[in-house]
A and B are shown apart, each in its own frame.
Chain A
Amino acid sequence: METIVHEFPPYREHETAPEPEAHGHHADIGFWRKYIFSSDHKIIGIQYGFTALCFMLFGFFLMLMMRWQIAHPGAPVPVVGPLLAKLLGQPAAGGIMSPELYNSFGAMHGTIMVFLAIVPLAFAAFGNYVVPLMIGAPDMAFPRVNMASYQAYVLGGVVMLVSFFIPGGAAQAGWTSYSPLATSIPTDGQLFWILGMVLLITSSLLGAVNFIATIIQLRAPGMTWMRLPFFVWAQFVTAFLLLLAFPPLEAAAIMQLMDNAAHTSFFLPTGLAVGGQLAHISGGGSPLLWQHLFWFLGHPEVYVLILPGMGIVCEIIANNTRKPIWGYKSLVYSVLVVGFLSFIVWAHHMYLTGMGTKIATFFQATTMMISIPSVIILTCLFISLWGGSIRFNTPMLFALGFLPMFGIGGLTGLPLGLAPTDIPLHDTYYVIAHFHYVVAPGTIFALFAGIYYWFPKMTGRKMNEFWGRVHFWGSLVFMNLVFMPMFTQGMEGMLRRMADGGANYSAARVPGALNTLPNDIMALHTWILWAAIALGLAQVPFIINLFWSIHHGEKVQNDNPWEATTLEWQAPTPPPHGNFAEPPQIYRGPYEYSVPGHATDFTPQNEPDRPGSPALAPAH
């Protein structure tokens, strides 16, 4: 490794002009180049983060309105009702949410949360800001591509937002956009959705290429693969998932675009009758083809949603237990296995499309298999707590909260993964609860943890601890109050995507039948509604805290306020353009905490070996 050191190019600018940022004032390069059209991975990371958070809030508001409709079908939406009516016209006449509007809000909630909120925040924002710092790189491998990726993302977001206001409104066929429904709905919403998706896919592909190239090429001397922080590994695998799983959806999107715009029949079978009339199409297509292509992306996508979160949690747990992560190697291998397996489980979303025994067996088997590495990952994180000296600061609280929440979500994936038990559960709120436990109290908590954890590096100030705790306990309690009841509802047969919250299937409406939704199940809707509102209020302290702390938070004493070992904390705060003053040299694994015989309870990766210190101990 030493040999590389000499060949490593110098980080300083060639011309002697000092870095403007380094001196805290941006003199020569203007505001636009610095903050809007920047190619600095840190600025881009923050841009991504802020935009994604706004989308997350928006996605949540969509859901609040839907939850109101579920609890009080046909009643005008309070407060925003009139506004809806004015903005969206017919579908929201009288402030009442029509089924059309409910469906498009549902589809857009899913799309926005997955593709415009969580992926950009978990992968793009944290990946951009943290990964190059963690591996000791001056920037991403392709800074301009990086900027293009963000711009494509914003453009995609704009297209999605605009689609709300076109006649007929946004896409209504669910985030899964199954054909023929997606093609038969008489609005252009679906076209906008497809175009938006193509832009978002492009953005993700550019990002993925950039991340992988960066991690392969720009690791600082001594930063061997097995010395990479787990977060970097998680992002590395995530990037591969995006790189290889997105193109098939792009292909599918192109074909659905043709179906919608050029009246082809890729996904439309012969003899299709839409709205009573036989459709004038050539036919011969296959609706299942779309589902296969969609879920071939769809399942890897869900691991894209979780892996970065796991990475963040791992970093924070190591830092706040003040001890090495238990089983670093098994973590790395597990995440690689998950990445690979996630490409061959997709059809577990399609058990009920008339699947034969052989295929069903294959996909049940792979689905059970993929749960094992996830079990291993969680086990390693749990066991890492043992023997630690745990500091309960806000980032740690959220990281710890992640573990059982993901656990619940993951475990409830198992009955869905077995085809027979999927029969009664498919498309019920059990599924909704399952995946929200993994993405909402799971991933979102991990992201909150990351924000609280790296905020000091970005701004040189800490976020307020007290309000952080308020935010945590509020979120934890209300998240569970929102999603736990959904398991019961699902078990009892409450179906998802019900514009009336299942009222038509309730005991109240159909007395005679033996299988109706009991009143107490329907009554839960009201509880969930209020819990969701409370959940939203629980975010207020966070939002205020976030903005307030940028200028008024407690100043950090040094570059490494959490006394962490990983490289990003050894860089200046905030890191200047180009990050490190001189190329860091790495001597050890990422989690050398409480090394016996070492002066402090943390040994940074770039701290030169001193005689007598067991620094070069291999990472665990």
Chain B
Amino acid sequence: MTQWFADKVLHLPTLASKNGAAIDELMVYIHVLMLALFVGWILYFGYALYRFSQSRNAKANYHGVRSHASNYLELAVAAIEAVLLIGIAVPIWARAVDKFPAADESTVIQIVAQQYAWNVRYPGHDGIFGRQDMKFVTSENVFGVDPTDAHGKDDIQVLNEVHAIVNKPVIIYLSSKDVIHSFRVLPMRICQDAIPGLRIPVWFTPTKTGKYQINCAQLCGPGHASMSGGFLFVEDEVDFQKWIGSKSGTSASFE
């Protein structure tokens, strides 16, 4: 039923992540509520206009409706909204921003957005990012990696391609170099502003392998509409490692 409503009525876009299911459910419930209110009121509206037009009802009734049924309707709306909020919305949000998966069981990635592309950085084989500091930031070294730090040596930095392992959580530390962008992969049901000066983590668990488009959802200048070069590749373990292998060594070095 819920599924049917989601597909046939709302035409929700493809879902390819664990965390997205709950969001889609909420989307369905709230729209059912809206639809109920809309249809209900429209029917009443239509009838009232027909029944009480001057031609059918020459003399208006000073008192109009005497019953207070509408109060119950309003209370009902309030109650349902409260349930959706406390029962569903808040828990989902809490999970999204508080309950991060353990780093060692997830693919950890750093992304720094810029006009008009995504810089992506992986910790490499040692699984540890090189030390980073504001004072190292230059127009090339957007992550401010400390050139002297050993951990940094095997880090992998690429442009516009994010690789992830299917069914394994992905944690992305998101920031921006110039203006505000927004990292959006609809099938993963994630969208997070990339804000200069801030480093905001966001996570999701992809469930379908494939190539997904990364959208920039925040106006970031004339190139905003064409900031479409970025892709998310969800692969199985093997392909992912193959890709990492092909990249390691090519890490952007700043010394």
Q: A271-B134, A412-B34, A423-B191 are in contact. Are A287 and B60 (CB under 8 A)?
A: no
* Chain B residues within 8 Å of A385, by CB: 45, 48-49, 52
CB distance from A369 to the nearest CB of B (A): 8
* Chain A residues within 8 Å of B148, by CB: none
- Interface check A388, CB cutoff 8 A: yes
Task: Identify which of residues 351-401 in chain A touch chain B, using a CB-to-CB cut-off of 8 Å.
Answer: 352-357, 360-361, 364-365, 368, 371-372, 375-376, 378-379, 382-392, 400
Docked CA distance A575–B189 (Å): 59
Are the CB atoms of A510 and B213 closer together than 8 Å? yes
Are the CB atoms of A418 and B85 closer together than 8 Å? yes
Interface size for B (C-beta < 8 A) is 97
* Chain B residues within 8 Å of A407, by CB: 37-38, 41
- Interface check B236, CB cutoff 8 A: no
| Cross-interface CB contact of B191 among A400, A414, A424, A594, cutoff 8 Å | A424
Are the CB atoms of A593 and B225 closer together than 8 Å? no
| Cross-interface CB contact of B64 among A365, A378, A388, cutoff 8 Å | A388
Docked CA distance A99–B134 (Å): 33
Docked CA distance A304–B106 (Å): 47
* Chain B residues within 8 Å of A270, by CB: 134, 197
Q: A387-B61, A404-B41 are in contact. Are A184 and B191 (CB under 8 A)?
A: no
* Chain B residues within 8 Å of A500, by CB: 225-226
Are the CB atoms of B197 and A271 closer together than 8 Å? yes
Q: A273-B139, A324-B64, A493-B215 are in contact. Are A420 and B41 (CB under 8 A)?
A: no
Docked CA distance A513–B231 (Å): 8
Of the stretches A51-59, A173-181, A211-219, A524-532, the one at the interface is A173-181
Task: Identify which of residues 164-219 in chain A touch chain B, using a CB-to-CB cut-off of 8 Å.
Answer: 172-174, 178, 180-181, 184-185
A357 closest partner in B (C-beta):
B94
Docked CA distance A423–B220 (Å): 19
Are the CB atoms of A181 and B219 closer together than 8 Å? yes
Docked CA distance A273–B113 (Å): 11
Task: Identify which of residues 114-137 in chain A touch chain B, using a CB-to-CB cut-off of 8 Å.
Answer: none
Interface size for A (C-beta < 8 A) is 102
Are the CB atoms of B228 and A326 closer together than 8 Å? no
- Interface check A499, CB cutoff 8 A: yes
Q: A270-B134, A273-B139, A352-B182 are in contact. Are A181 and B52 (CB under 8 A)?
A: no
| Cross-interface CB contact of B13 among A322, A493, A498, cutoff 8 Å | A493
Are the CB atoms of B215 and A324 closer together than 8 Å? no
* Chain A residues within 8 Å of B10, by CB: 491
Are the CB atoms of A181 and B220 closer together than 8 Å? yes
- Interface check B65, CB cutoff 8 A: yes
Task: Identify which of residues 279-326 in chain A touch chain B, using a CB-to-CB cut-off of 8 Å.
Answer: 285-288, 321-324, 326
B217 closest partner in A (C-beta):
A427
CB distance from A466 to the nearest CB of B (A): 18
| Cross-interface CB contact of A491 among B11, B137, B139, B144, cutoff 8 Å | B11
Of the stretches B150-158, B159-167, B173-181, B240-248, the one at the interface is B173-181
- Interface check B2, CB cutoff 8 A: no
Chain B 110-148 interface 0/1 with A at a Cβ cutoff of 8 Å (1 = within) = 000011000000000000000000100111001010000
Docked CA distance A389–B58 (Å): 6
CB distance from B216 to the nearest CB of A (A): 8
B57 closest partner in A (C-beta):
A389
Task: Identify which of residues 26-52 in chain B touch chain A, using a CB-to-CB cut-off of 8 Å.
Answer: 26-27, 30-31, 33-34, 37-38, 41-42, 44-45, 48-49, 52
Are the CB atoms of B78 and A372 closer together than 8 Å? yes
* Chain A residues within 8 Å of B114, by CB: 273
Docked CA distance A502–B228 (Å): 10
Q: A287-B180, A515-B187 are in contact. Are A492 and B13 (CB under 8 A)?
A: yes
Are the CB atoms of B52 and A418 closer together than 8 Å? no
* Chain A residues within 8 Å of B93, by CB: 357, 360-361, 364, 419-420
| Cross-interface CB contact of B210 among A184, A392, A514, A596, cutoff 8 Å | A514
- Interface check A512, CB cutoff 8 A: yes
- Interface check B252, CB cutoff 8 A: no
A503 closest partner in B (C-beta):
B225
- Interface check B103, CB cutoff 8 A: no
B140 closest partner in A (C-beta):
A276
CB distance from B60 to the nearest CB of A (A): 4
- Interface check A550, CB cutoff 8 A: no
Query: What are 16 A-to-B residue pairs whose CB atoms are below 8 Å?
Result: A178-B218, A180-B179, A180-B180, A273-B142, A353-B193, A364-B85, A365-B85, A368-B81, A379-B74, A386-B48, A387-B57, A404-B38, A411-B34, A424-B23, A499-B224, A515-B14
Can you name 12 extra interface pairs (CB under 8 A) apart from A323-B64, A365-B85, A601-B59? A181-B180, A181-B220, A274-B179, A357-B94, A387-B52, A387-B60, A407-B37, A411-B34, A415-B34, A420-B89, A498-B225, A504-B225
Binding site for B on A (CB under 8 A): 98-100, 103, 172-174, 178, 180-181, 184-185, 269-278, 285-288, 321-324, 326, 352-357, 360-361, 364-365, 368, 371-372, 375-376, 378-379, 382-392, 400, 403-404, 407-408, 411-412, 414-415, 418-421, 423-424, 426-428, 488, 491-493, 495, 497-500, 502-505, 509-510, 512-516, 593-596, 601
Binding site for A on B (CB under 8 A): 10-14, 16, 22-23, 26-27, 30-31, 33-34, 37-38, 41-42, 44-45, 48-49, 52-54, 57-65, 70, 73-74, 77-78, 81-82, 84-85, 88-90, 92-94, 96-98, 114-115, 134, 137-139, 142, 144, 177-180, 182, 184-187, 189-193, 195-198, 200, 208, 210-213, 215, 217-226, 228, 231
